[in-house]
């Protein structure tokens, strides 16, 4: 009888503890839920559906919805419907648009150090780029953004740029002579193409297809997947694989929007941004490889030889030296140190 009573007491104690634990868990969940409000978030993109960036944005929206129990909703506006990169960036600072994804180097107008991502021939491959953006250098740069009314959540990618135009194949830097080439709206890119002999013209991305179609521009520089999705291969003839520049991209949020979020909401967005970013990079690399194979069927594609790429790098060296002084030579050394670690680890 006593043994039975003791067993019953133990059972009641265990049940009580389990019930208490469940209650604590429920209360904790309820507390978290109470700190997540229903919000609609606009995410502006200049690219269209089918790009890795758009795929990544959809993944991000799914993650945010799932992690917030459906309370945080991300609505994607693609194809530059909310404007080009720089106007949208200004809207983020003003708080009228909540989020955007753009080439990290475009932030140099706000934080000069981001110009380091425009250095030509900086990375030999994606592994080197990942080491820099995911390491202390990438974090240091993101930490400079809040003072400018922006918050960087994670690094995604556009990928390696190659040169395309409607007039001739680029097999050496001399072939760029006189070509009117669209460049992203950053000084270093303008200097690079001009140094290589082109007539460089900054132009918002949403205007590029029409400019190429109407021959207002001879060419531009884009990764293979961008060529296919934006249908630039319809209005171009030559695609030259130069890998002269790698563009990491930054998923950004308005500082004003960020400040209005709870800690739980902020964590949801950061975690979703990082997970979606890893997914986006994987998709980007796969899609670019597949798109290059497709471009070989519609354009005259040529690989620039290693010897000629070395000549391009030599020709572009003064550009790197000029902007190293502006960006800060200490930061530039840190970037190259990270790259050297990856190269030293290669078998």
pLDDT of residue 347: 72
Identify the CA nearest to 45 among candidates 124, 103, 3: 103
DSSP 159-223: EEEEEEESS---SSGGGGTT-EEEE-S-HHHHHHHHHTT-EEEE--GGGHHHHHHTTS-SEEEE-
Record the tokens describing residue 209, joined without a space: 């297809």
φ/ψ of 248, rounded to 5, equals -70, 150
Q: Break the chain down into helix, strand, coil percent, rounded to 5.
A: 60, 20, 20
166: CB partners within 8 A, 6+ apart: 212, 215, 218, 219, 235, 236, 237, 238
Domain definitions of the chain by residue range: 36-345
According to the CATH classification, is domain 36-345 in 3.20.20.70?
A: no
Task: For residue 22, count other CB atoms closer than 10 A to its CB.
Answer: 10
Write out the chain's pLDDT in tens, 347 residues: 444 434 444 544 444 444 444 433 443 343 354 499 999 999 999 999 999 999 999 999 999 999 999 999 999 999 999 999 999 999 999 999 999 999 999 999 999 999 999 999 999 999 999 999 999 999 999 999 999 999 999 999 999 999 999 999 999 999 999 999 999 888 999 999 999 999 999 999 999 999 999 999 999 999 999 999 999 999 999 999 999 999 999 999 999 999 999 999 999 999 999 999 999 999 999 999 999 999 999 999 999 999 999 999 999 999 999 999 999 999 999 999 999 999 998 77
Record the tokens describing residue 205, joined without a space: 């991305």
Residue 135 DSSP symbol = S
pLDDT of residue 24: 36
pLDDT of residue 32: 52
Identify the CA nearest to 120 among candidates 37, 242, 284, 257: 242
pTM of the model: 0.85
């Amino acid at each position: 009888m006593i043994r039975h009573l003791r067993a019953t007491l133990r059972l009641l104690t265990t049940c009580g503890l389990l019930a208490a634990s469940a209650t604590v868990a429920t209360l904790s969940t309820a507390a978290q839920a109470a700190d997540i409000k229903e919000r609609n978030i606009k995410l502006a993109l200049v690219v269209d559906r089918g790009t890795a960036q758009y795929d990544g944005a959809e993944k991000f929206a799914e993650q945010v919805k799932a992690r917030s129990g459906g309370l945080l909703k991300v609505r994607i506006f693609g194809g530059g419907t909310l404007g080009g990169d720089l106007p949208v960036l200004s809207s983020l600072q003003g708080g009228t648009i909540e989020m955007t994804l753009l080439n990290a180097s475009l932030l140099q107008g706000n934080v000069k150090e981001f110009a380091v991502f425009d250095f030509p021939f900086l990375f030999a491959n994606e592994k080197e780029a990942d080491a820099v953006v995911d390491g202390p250098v990438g974090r240091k740069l993101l930490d400079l953004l809040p003072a400018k009314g922006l918050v960087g959540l994670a690094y995604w990618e556009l990928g390696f740029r190659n040169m395309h135009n409607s007039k001739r194949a680029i097999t050496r830097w001399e072939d760029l002579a006189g070509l009117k080439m669209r460049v992203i709206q950053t000084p270093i890119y303008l200097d690079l193409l001009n140094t290589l002999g082109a007539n460089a013209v900054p132009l918002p991305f949403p205007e590029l297809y029409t400019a190429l179609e109407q021959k207002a521009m001879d060419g531009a520089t884009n990764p293979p997947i961008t060529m296919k999705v934006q249908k630039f291969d319809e209005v171009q003839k030559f695609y030259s694989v130069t890998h002269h520049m790698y563009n990491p991209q930054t998923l950004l949020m308005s500082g004003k929007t960020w400040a209005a979020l709870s800690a739980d909401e902020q964590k949801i967005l950061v975690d979703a941004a990082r997970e979606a970013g890893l997914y986006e990079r994987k998709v980007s690399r796969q899609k670019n490889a597949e798109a290059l194979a497709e471009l070989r069927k519609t354009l005259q594609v040529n690989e620039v030889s290693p010897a000629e790429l070395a000549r391009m790098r030599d020709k572009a060296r003064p550009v790197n030296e000029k902007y190293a002084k502006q960006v800060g030579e200490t930061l530039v050394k840190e970037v190259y140190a990270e790259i050297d670690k990856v190269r030293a680890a290669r078998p």
